[in-house]
Amino acid sequence: MDIELGKHIDLLTGLYKSDYMFYNAYNFIRSGKHTSVMFIDMDNFGYIDKKYGHLNGDAILKIVADILKENVGSDSYLCRYAGDEFAIVNPYCISDSRILAEKIISSINSYPFPNDIPVSASIGITGFGAHNVKTENISGLINKLVNIASLSSTRAKENVNNSIIIGDIDIDAIA
């Protein structure tokens, strides 16, 4: 039973693994709902692990997972994507996802992490208005959305003035 659960649940954070996000994104697109993907990437997490140790790093990941759970509504689906990366899929437009991203960034920045460890995150967001285009390859579309959101979070990490970057999607390249 526990082995079966470990296939779908990240045992450190208690969040679902990335398949959960893909499954729900697929359902949003198939049912004609707007689909936004938010990719949350912890800043300088390798440094935190090296300076404060993996036990502190793991504790931070658990706390961040809890912060995300507190901020994400029941209409959104949250997962631990990999390592220090999390993802959210929701039926929001980009501007509503940005508001959620700002709330998440503020919650992380204001949290008193153990040992006064400085913790921050960067978020990449992209979205797709499924009602605008019929797509035959929904899985391919989801992969592109995740890739764009991931690359946008990387750009946000590199941009000292902006921890949230919106990644534009080329609908013609996807359709």
Contact (CB, 8 A) for 12 and 59: no
* Strand 85-90 with 34-42, pairing: antiparallel
Is 84 tagged catalytic? yes
Q: 100, 108, 97: which is closest to 37 by C-alpha?
A: 97
Catalytic residue among 10, 41, 49, 84: 84
Question: How big, in percent rounded to 5, are the helix, strand and coil portions of the chain?
Answer: 50, 20, 30
Residue carrying the six token digits 């501007």:
95
Catalytic residues: 84
